Amino acid sequence: MKQQVHDAARRARVAAATLALTPRTDKDTALIAMADALLAHTDEILAANAEDVAAARNADIEENIIDRLSLGAGRVAAIAEGTRDIAALPDPVGEVVRGSTLPNGLQLRQIRVPMGVIGMIYEARPNVTADAAAICLKAGNAVLLRGSSSAARSNAAIIDMLRDALKSVGLPADAIQRIPADDRSSATHLMQARGLVDLVIPRGGAGLIKTVVERSTVPVIETGVGNCHVYVDADADLDMALDITVNSKTHRTSVCNAAESLLVHRAVADAFLPRVIAALQERGVTIHGDAAFQALSNDVVPVTVEDDDTEYLDLDISAHVVDSIDEAINHVRAHSSGHTEAIVTGSLAASQRFAMGVDSAAVMINASTRFTDGGEFGFGAEIGISTQKLHARGPMGLTEMTTTTYIVTGAGHTR
């Protein structure tokens, strides 16, 4: 398996060298061909996905994982549309980050260039296969895609179609390759292919991310789990707060930007708690609440520290009443995964204090946590959401898949 992975990486390096010199028009043509291929072969993709979903159900896989795994015609169309959106975006390659003429006359430019070969190790979601391929291609990179065994048929079908699309427009098919998921060692060999792979991005649960970060010898951009919070401030519009809380928690529970924790300022607790408890319970949400929440409903489960640290990815939420915005900020900093936090408030000062205090990749002011998403941010799609602080943070699009090179132009300068 090691030889197989390394051979794929070597082919990817050859493809990446070609892509680095490929003009935007050719890359965009390829992306449109990829989108067309996804739509033209929707039935084949859905047939493969149906086999994956059936196998997952037979294996008693959790429903939230099956939700991530499942595709429908609408989701395939959305993936294709995201690919088209990426084609319409500016090409980051060649962008001048900064430039100047030095006192000695040397002209200095820092420009964006492709990373090279990017390895993706991810779980369940087959949409990641197409999103990662499209983003990497537009940024001039080759990509090695190591999805999970649960989505093996879906991923294989998508990758075969994307590779055919590349060949149809004259670009190397090896710019997009699948690393087999039937052997666990393939992930290890990919993350330890230092010198052949330039960057590894894990996308999935906490266990996967922890394993890649600890075992990889290739540089890693760490995507994060989403223990996201909604804080309802003393100056909140309570109708708005209710809508944002319900949307953040229940719009789609199996994704990393769903809210997992609710904090309510004591000044509005009497008016807000009965409404939010009723609205969440009506939608099947189990509230793990403190004494204030428990006093209003026998169905509220006593909250624990473990609850506060949990990314449920299901119809559960931890909930507390706090005495101040600073208490809310301290709670978030103690328990958040650094993904997304939301504040509902009519106070500009409170929104600024919260945004600067929580130290997360994204902060929503009077908006749902569900908006932390590459597509919603106008990136076309995303390759993941980074919660680390080096190089990339938040939804990662085209720019985050590049590095920089200094171009220094002289006129016979010597030192």
What residue spans of 216-324 are helical by DSSP H?
238-250, 266-282, 291-294, 305-308
Q: What is the mean pLDDT of residues 254-274?
A: 96
Has this prediction a pTM greater than 0.75?
A: yes
* CATH 3.40.309.10 corresponds to the domain 228-371: yes
3-state SS string for 79-101? HHHHHHHHHHCCCCCCCEEEEEE
Structure token pair of residue 63: 């429903």
Return the domain boundaries, the chain: 2-223+396-409, 228-371
Residue 257: its pLDDT value, please?
94
For 381-390, write each residue's pLDDT tens digit.
788 899 888 7
For 17-57, write each residue's pLDDT tens digit.
999 999 999 999 999 999 999 999 999 999 999 999 999 99
| DSSP string covering 136-147 | HHHTT-EEEEE-
Structure token pair of residue 231: 């804080």
* CATH 3.40.605.10 corresponds to the domain 2-223+396-409: yes
For 188-244, write each residue's pLDDT tens digit.
999 999 999 999 999 888 888 889 999 999 999 988 789 999 999 999 999 999 999
Structure token pair of residue 144: 């090695």
Half-sphere exposure of 162 (CA within 13 A, CB side): 31
For residue 223, the 8-state DSSP code is B
* Angstrom distance (rounded) from CA 126 to CA 124: 6
